[in-house]
Chain A
Amino acid sequence: MSVATVSHLTVRYGTKTAIDDLSVEFPSGCVGLLGANGAGKTTLLNTLLGFLHPKVGDCQVLGLNVATDPLKIRQRVGLMPERDCHIPGMNAVTFVAYAGELAGMPAPEAMRRAHEMLEYVELGEERYRNVETYSTGMKQRIKLAQALVHGPKLIFLDEPTNGLDPAGRDHMLKLVRSISHGKDVSVIVSSHILPDIERVCDSVVVLRTGRLSQQGSVASLQQTEGRQIDVELRLPSPEFLAAMVRRGAEVISDTGSRCRLRLEKDDPGREVFAAALEARAEVRGFKPAMRSLEDVFMEAAE
């Protein structure tokens, strides 16, 4: 089931086309939205929230039309923006409760929920501090808390790990993973940091200059074309590579003692060991080759 559907969407800023005839479906779960700077990620999120009004195309979020039901959509959706944002002069618990009230929650419910959310993002001890005095990591977490307070079914996270130190990043990713799995909440994460997406997302959508470049589950995108294997030797061995080529393999990459080979045979392990024996090379390990999301991203950007 898809949580957001975009059909033939075109968004222009004056003469510049930010999104060009884009059609894509975001499945439920945790979806990564990838793309280089200017690829149209933030424009797409802004369009899905009804902040922008494109003349061409149709967008549906949680089964509601963005053009006709933007308020109903925003009732069911939470946004954690990329930029720092807070209500000036409020402490954390007042801010999050206020965000809940803006979403229609009665004041006592909003306050109770604000306490819950601040505990959830581990800001419970700091809840009475003015948000303006928070560190970058704390500001990221309070943005998440205000996005979650009204119990949305879909959350847009725009660069959630921006400016975080490794510990803060790890914590944020755990939170994102936790929200998006087993809580009946879907998450769309826009990020440049590919390992983050790889860690938390089940599927990805890759944009390139406003168009869909690639889409699929992380596992399927990481699969290599044909039958590819990564082989690690104890020492670099040109003889081993030559023996593999004689057995019909194609060398995809060769970085010292590691190499990636394409070999269209049913039992590549047998061929690897036979070639190693012939070349008197010592095999430390081999496994089916997987592409990193960085490879996918770079391919999409080319």
Chain B
Amino acid sequence: MNTMLKIAIVATSLIVMLIADIPFLPVQMVPDADAIFGVRRRAFATGVVVGASVGAARAASAEQSQQTAAAQQQAAAAQQQAAAAQQQAAAAQQQAALARPPAGPPAAAGTPLPLGSVVAALPGGCTSTPVGGVEYYYCGGNFYRAVFQGNTLVYVTAKP
């Protein structure tokens, strides 16, 4: 009995020491760790399928940012310094949006648009006039000027 007690005390203290050594073991963190395990197992089970890896990456990054301050810093830095790739994706979206025929403001005759309004194409029946080396187009009560919006040629209302 005495021996058993001794062993039990030693065993308990060992376990307690180990628990204290492992930062992620506290009860509230166990579900997180489990989540990582689950995602990893699924990711590896599905093999090298990009979608799965991506899912794993996303879950892993989410867990990371929850768990470590370093990851939070990373995320902050990422937001601060607009990453080149992200920007390109954004620019591309913008570009794609431009490529679509935009629902331009109605350029009915005689309705002046606010200066700086952008239209994808000139309304019909414009007359062009060069003013100080710049070509202006007059139609529907507005003066337009051609500009590049990104890589796309558009027309913007302007004052000659």
The yes or no verdict on A and B being binding partners is no
Q: Which residue numbers of B lie inside 8 Å of A, CB to CB?
A: none
Q: Which residues of A contact B (CB under 8 A)?
A: none
